[in-house]
Amino acid sequence: MNNSLAFENPFRIEQGLVLSPLAAGTWPVQENSYLYWLARRKFRLDTAPSSAALAVVADRHYEVFINRQRMVSQRNYFSGDRYLYRQDHREAEMAAALTAGDNEIVFLLRSDAYKNKNYTYCHPLLWCELSFPDSTGLTAVFSDAQWEVARLENWRPLRACVITRSYELAKLIPEAECGLRGTPGKAVYSHPCTLDPETLPPIYKWTEKPQRTDTHRPTGILFSGTWATKQESLCFDLTEIFRTGSDAPALTTVLHLHQETQIAISASALSACSLLLDGTEAASRDWLPGPDLMRQMNYLSPLAMVTLPPGTHELSFRFHAGHRRFLSWKQRFADSPNIAGLWFRLQVHGYDQAALEWHNCDGQTIRPRPLDCSTAESLSARTAQCDRQNVQQTAADSFTFLPTGKNDRQFLTLAYGGLKKGRLSFRIHAASAGRIYLSYGVLAGNGAIDCARNRKDAVDIIEVPAGDSQYEAFEDRALAFLDLACENFSGRVEIRDLALHERIFLDPSAAAFESTDTAMNALWRASIRTAQLCCDEIYMDNFEREHTQWLCSSPPNIAAGYYFFAGNRSKADKTLLELALHQRADGELQGHAPGFWGERPAYQCHIGLYIRAVWRNYHYHGNLTLLKQLLPTLKKILSYWENWRNADGLLEDLHTVWVDWGIHMYSYAPVDN
Q: How crowded is residue 625: how many other Cβ atoms within 10 Å of its Cβ?
A: 11
DSSP letters spanning 44-81: EESS--S--EEEEEEESEEEEEETTEEEEEE----BTT
Q: Confidence band (pLDDT; 50, 70, 90) for 563?
A: low
Rounded-to-integer distance, Cα 628 and Cα 97, Å = 44
Rounded-to-integer distance, Cα 501 and Cα 497, Å = 12
Cα separation values, 189 from 38, 174, 175, 184, 414, Å: 8, 21, 20, 12, 40
pLDDT at 10 > cutoff 50: yes
Rounded-to-integer distance, Cα 300 and Cα 234, Å = 11
Say how many CA atoms lie within 13 Å of 28 toward its Cβ. 17
- Residue scoring higher pLDDT (532 or 120): 120
CATH number of 508-536+538-642: 1.50.10.10
DSSP state of 574: H
Q: What is the mean pLDDT of the chain?
A: 89
Q: pLDDT per residue over 215-228, tens digit each?
A: 999 999 999 999 99
DSSP-assigned beta bridge partners for residue 221:
414
| Spatial CA neighbour of 241 closest among 272, 279, 281 | 272
Q: pLDDT per residue over 108-128, tens digit each?
A: 999 999 999 999 999 999 999
Rounded-to-integer distance, Cα 127 and Cα 140, Å = 13
Burial of 128 (0-12, 13-18, 19+ CB in 10 A): buried
pLDDT at 148 > cutoff 80: yes
pLDDT of 564: 67
Counting residues of the chain whose pLDDT is more than 70, the rounded percentage is 93
pLDDT at 672 > cutoff 80: no
pLDDT at 510 > cutoff 80: no
pLDDT of 246: 63
Amino acid symbol at 457: D
Rounded-to-integer distance, Cα 493 and Cα 391, Å = 10
pLDDT of 590: 86
**CA–CA–CA angle 200, 205, 211 (5° rounding):** 135
CATH number of 232-372: 2.60.120
Same fold, 3-152+187-208 and 508-536+538-642: no
Rounded-to-integer distance, Cα 139 and Cα 29, Å = 39
Rounded-to-integer distance, Cα 280 and Cα 25, Å = 67
DSSP letters spanning 185-241: TT---BPPEEE-GGGSPPEEEE----SEEEEE---EEEEEEEEE--SEEEEEEHHHH
pLDDT of 668: 44
Residues 110 and 36 sit within 8 Å (Cβ to Cβ): yes
Mean pLDDT of 625-645: 95
| Spatial CA neighbour of 399 closest among 436, 433, 443, 442 | 436
pLDDT at 80 > cutoff 50: yes
- Residue scoring higher pLDDT (297 or 561): 297
pLDDT of 149: 98
Mean pLDDT of 280-291: 88
Give the highest mean pLDDT range of 569-573, 598-602, 641-645: 641-645
The full set of domain ranges for the chain reads 3-152+187-208, 215-225+383-504, 232-372, 508-536+538-642
pLDDT of 316: 96
- Residue scoring higher pLDDT (620 or 144): 144
End-to-end CA distance of the chain: 44
CATH number of 3-152+187-208: 2.60.120.260
pLDDT of 501: 96
pLDDT at 135 > cutoff 80: no
Mapped onto helix, strand or coil, the DSSP state of residue 587 is coil
Rounded-to-integer distance, Cα 276 and Cα 317, Å = 6
Rounded-to-integer distance, Cα 433 and Cα 555, Å = 50
pLDDT of 245: 62
Q: Confidence band (pLDDT; 50, 70, 90) for 387?
A: confident
Mean pLDDT of 483-501: 95
CATH number of 215-225+383-504: 2.60.120.260
| pTM across the whole model | 0.93
pLDDT of 661: 57
Least confident of 337-346, 365-374, 501-510: 501-510
pLDDT at 210 > cutoff 90: no
